[in-house]
Amino acid sequence: MHSTPSLGPPRKCAVALFVFALLASACSSGGWQEMPEPPIDGRGFAGSACSESGLIVWGGATVREVDSSDPEIVMAEIFADGAIFDVARRDWRVLPSGPLTARWGAAATIDGNNLLVWGGAGSVISSLDPTDFDYPTDGAILDLSTMEWTYLPEGPLRSRFDGAAVSLSGPEVFIYGGQATPGTDTSTLNAAFLNVTSLQFSVAQSPPIDSVVFADHERLLAIDSAGVYEYATALDQWTVTSIEVPVDMGDPIAVVPIEDGTKAVVVSTSGSWTYEKTPGFVRLEASPIIGSDVQLRSSSSGATIWDPASRSAWVLRDGTWEPLPTPRRLGTREGSSVCQTLSTLIIWGGQEDRDTVHLTRSDGMTIQIER
């Protein structure tokens, strides 16, 4: 009696092997998971923000190109679209078309249930003629519950790209910093509060140059290598506080609030500290060695660091930085969108330079940071 030759493992064994392969793939990535393909083109330097459910990306730029009609002008393809990545569902959703022109380097933040996008830069990256540059001075707010945009016409803020937006308690956002139009002194950039309900701007004194700003409950604070400053609304000025800054801190790179705004984490190239009104600054254990383009993120569950130069990530647990596995499938790239939710660190997009080739990425990875 002849037996039929086997063409493969039985179905149950095949399923088991498939599951094993998936597990092995997850293990080989050190806990990192690849994100699904997005419904938008790859890009870097997008306006990005983090909601409770995931990452929001709007605008951004692709590989830089030289304008063939004028070799002195360096340009980039820029975008006026975006998408939301839901970390629980692990899927993308396209944002509705909005009123803003394409741009990169826009300031973006979440305030309540609203996404704010403001400012940024147009397609010209480099030119000998300052009039070639396009730095829009408008913005828009997306209501994340209705998915409807509201246009913010040009206000009192001067044009800039790579500005910062800090959400305050109540319906206000503080916009400051950034890089001025070429030929303009960055120190002349002003700051403003935006009421996202009334859509009214109120000009404010800019924080000290090279300082980082965060909201501590109802206070707006700035930190630089010389001191801690509090914004006095009645005086419209930044007043220095009595809290001393660690001598070895140098210029801070970034600051984020933690523990519902009762504390903050400050990082510089020489270390990291927690800050609170009392006792002030406390140095964190096992502070990672980082570059100046480090991304510091936080949620109510804690803080994370992503250093794109070394492709290294850390999570803050019990006052100590613990290293996360290296995401081997993420190359060294700049301009990525980085987000931390309650449970997950998300890294997506960016530009990867390989010799003279610029690769704009549309891939990304996530890792669980919950214990």
> What pLDDT score was predicted for residue 18?
44
Confirm if 220 and 231 have CB atoms less than 8 A apart. yes
**Cβ contacts of residue 71 below 8 Å, gap of 6+?**
none
Confirm if 218 and 243 have CB atoms less than 8 A apart. no
pLDDT tier at 286, thresholds 50, 70, 90: confident
Higher pLDDT among residues 320 and 26, named by residue: 320
H-assigned helices in the chain: 11-28
Interatomic CA distance for residues 107 and 101, integer angstroms: 14
% of the chain with per-residue pLDDT over 90: 63
Looking at every residue in the chain, the average pLDDT score rounds to 87
Interatomic CA distance for residues 271 and 56, integer angstroms: 29
Higher pLDDT among residues 169 and 238, named by residue: 238
For residue range 209-258, list pLDDT tens digits in order.
Answer: 889 999 987 789 999 999 999 999 999 999 999 999 999 998 899 999 99
> What pLDDT score was predicted for residue 70?
61
% of the chain with per-residue pLDDT over 70: 88
Confirm if 314 and 321 have CB atoms less than 8 A apart. yes
Is the pLDDT at 27 greater than 60? The verdict is no
For residue range 316-326, list pLDDT tens digits in order.
Answer: 998 899 999 99
CA proximity to 123, closest of 132, 111, 113, 114: 132
Residue 25 φ then ψ, to 5°: -65, -45
- Tell me the whole-structure pTM to 2 decimals: 0.88
**Which structural domains are found in the chain, ordered by start?**
43-202 (2.120.10.80), 207-269 (no CATH), 285-371 (no CATH)
For residue range 96-134, list pLDDT tens digits in order.
Answer: 999 999 999 999 999 989 999 999 998 887 777 777 888
> What pLDDT score was predicted for residue 256?
95
> What pLDDT score was predicted for residue 29?
56
Paired sense of beta strands 61-66 and 191-195, if any: unpaired
> What pLDDT score was predicted for residue 8?
42
Amino acid type, 133? F
